Structure 1
Amino acid sequence: ARSSTGMESFLVAASIRADDAVSQRDSHCTDQAKPILAYWAIRGLAQPIRLLLEYLHVDYEDKRFEQGLAPAFDKSCWYDVKDTILGDYPFPNLPYFVDGDVVVTQSNAIIRHVARQHNLHGATPDEATRCDIMLEEGMDLRNRTVALAYGRSGKFEDVLPTYAATLRTHLQRYSLFLGTHDWFAGGTLTACDFVMYELLDQNQLMVRGCLDAFPNLRTFCTNFSALPRSQRAATTNHGHT
């Protein structure tokens, strides 16, 4: 277990890294318009990006497209503008990120774009590789979670036990990969941690106690939620999953 003194040093170091990234950004981008992150008015694919931007103190526009009410969930607010809102950009999609003259779609591409700007893609080649692995593992987990939430056949409570059993198998693998490290890439906070925290948090809401058998995953979530700005991001950006 981390001592109180060790935890304080740990959080201070994380805060210093974020402040350094902010200083570097401000020295180069003071004259640029605010970046725009656009997505549906839910957590979904954009929430890890929101968490990352909040952690980095990035002043950005959080643009949200509001779906209609159930059962139709009208999406015309997006589809009416999809082919024009990004000009001649060939891959209009949600989420999208407009950063000066750069337009980025695909959630992991956005995460990597921001991470590279702020040195959160790994301090070493090995950490960068581990970060990439967990970004893709995170997408696989998200797809399974989305299938339970949106694409299931049958009642939620009927299919949940099967999902929970499969989830436990994957949590065992995440726990093994994390090992004794503070973060999934190793000793350095990276972009994949924002993705994994969001997905572990979502799954804890659906499968109560799913992390009880994995103390290192619980510690990871506790440490992440204590990072500067992460608490504010979690409370202001929650909404539906």
Structure 2
Amino acid sequence: MNTKIAFPAMVKEYRLANNLTMEQLAEKIGKTKSTISKWESGTRSPKIYEIEEIAIFFGVHPEVMMFGETSTASPDAKNGTVQAINDKVVQLHPERQEIVLEVATEQLEEQIKANTPQAENKVVSISEKRVEYEVRKRVDKSAPGKVSAGTGYWQEDDYDTIVSFYEDDIPDDDDYDTIAIVVGHSMEPKIKNGDFLFIKYTSQVDTNTIGIFQVNGENYVKKLKDGYLQSLNPDYDNIQLTPNDEIRTIGEVVDVYREG
């Protein structure tokens, strides 16, 4: 027998069944704690590709997450192959987990197109169903800076524009201090050229956290590692840090906004 469970409750149910905190789940699927919290509270709706990503992570079909249908079996009752994959994936470094997630997402998309021709129609119907009861509100925010995902620069004087965002897709005002647009490709696939970063000013961030860092006068968006700043895109070099470098943390990236 099947039961219907709304997406917010389902995320929390699967997260707890896998003994994960919000922070741990956010790190594993490349989101922020703020995003997970809003998903579980129902104040923010995920995009279609995000539903696919979290479904793959938990080892369930995306339609289960999309349509709120789940079986009465325990959420962690996975078949042997899925369990074996999960056992391997959890042993990988986060950047390698992201590669596995990308490959799995591509395979799933190909499978859906091949085996369920009406999948695209279902996706449209989900969006249309949301519109029936919710008009997504837009808000205008100032984006005063550009930040490079490549060679490092932070401009506040020649880029100050007003950007329209979906209100339910951005963090609360208290969670960030400024907004910057990304220029460059070194942090793909998580952060892409043209994305908007919501940044909280801080002088220190934890290891494995994406932040804005100034090195010898140049500013970068990178992931902090022990002894270097990491570029998520393997085609770009990491920034090795030495005792002679002048290093300053400008802030932590608390959320990423991508239109569409």
Coarse TM-score class (shorter-chain normalised): under 0.3
**Higher relative helix content:** 1
**Normalized against structure 2, the TM-score is what?**
0.23
Higher Cα Rg: structure 1 or 2? 2
